[in-house]
Structure 1
Amino acid sequence: MDATSRHSKILDLLNSQERVEVEDLAARFGVSLQTIRTDLRDLSARGVLSRVHGGAVRVSSAANRAYADRRKQNATAKQTMAALLAEFIPDNCSLAINIGTSTEQAARSLENHRGLTVLSNNINIINLMMGGEAKELILVGGTVRQSDGAIIGEDAV
C-alpha cells in the first residue's frame, strides 16, 4: 500500500475513533513502525492530525468542523464579543471584515450602525448586512469556497 492510501485510511480511522496507535497502524498496514511514524509526521505537518506519544489524535481545531457547527461553538461568547465591538465602531466609517463565525457575529452587531462602508470576502457577512440602515457593501471578487462562503483566490487578494 502506498503512502497516499495509508494516509487516507489513517484519517478515516481518526474520523471513527479519537486516537490511533503507531504499533496498531504498522500491524494493520504491514509496514514498519518508522514508516507509520513518518506518515503521522507528514499528516501532522499538513495539519490534519496531531501527533502524540505513541500515535496521533484528531485535530480539534475549529477549521476542521463544519461551518454551521462552528457558528454554534462558543455562540454566547461570540455574541458578547460582538456587542462589545459594536460599541467601539462609530457610524460613518469603513470596515474590512474577513471570513469567520466570530466576524459574522460582529457584522450582526452592527445592524443599527449608519453610513458604514463594509468590504468583505464573506458572502454570509454581506447577506447579514443587507437591508437595515444605509450601508455600502462591497463583496470582493474571486472563487466562492462553498464550505463557508469565503471568496478566495488571486482576484480576492
Structure 2
Amino acid sequence: MSTAAERTTSPQPMNPDEEAFLRALGRVMTLLPRAIDADMMRDRQMPLSEYTALMNLSEAPGRQMRMNELATACMLSLSGMTRVVTRLESRGLAERVKCDEDARGLNAVLTDAGLARLREAWPAHLASVRRHVMDHLEGADLAAFTAVLNRFPL
C-alpha cells in the first residue's frame, strides 16, 4: 500500500469500476437537482433553491439564520442566496433583519406566509424525491450508503 505522499505525487489511474462510478455519480449530481427543480416549478411554481431556503429556515431556531449560514446550508454563494431571499421577500415569504449579535450581519427570517408556502410545496417535493431517488434505492442499505456519503469532506 502506498503512503499518502506517494499517492499525492503519483496518482494511480482509476480502474473501470471506479471510472464508471465517478461518471454515474457526476451524472446524478448534475441531473438530480435539475429534475427536482423542474418538478417543483411544474407542480408548485417554486424553484428548488427557494424550497431549500424555506426548508432550512423552518428548521432553524427562531426560524432564522444568518445569510452566510443559510447560503452554506443551501449550497449557494452568498450572492446567490441574496437573490433567492430577495425573491422570497418580494412575496412576503421571508424577511431580512439585522443580527442581534452584530449589527453588520443580516438574518433571513421565515415568515408565517413562508412556512405556509413551504407546507403547501412539501408534497410535490416529497413526490419528486421519491420518484427520482428513493424509488431507485429499493433493497439498498441506506444507513450504510449514508455513512459512506458522510465520509466526504465538506
TM-based fold match above 0.5: no
* TM-score normalized by the length of structure 2: 0.35
* TM-score normalized by the length of structure 1: 0.34
Larger radius of gyration: 1
Which of 1 and 2 has higher RCO (CA within 8 Å, sep 6+)? 2
Q: Which has the higher helix share?
A: 2
Q: Which has the higher strand share?
A: 1
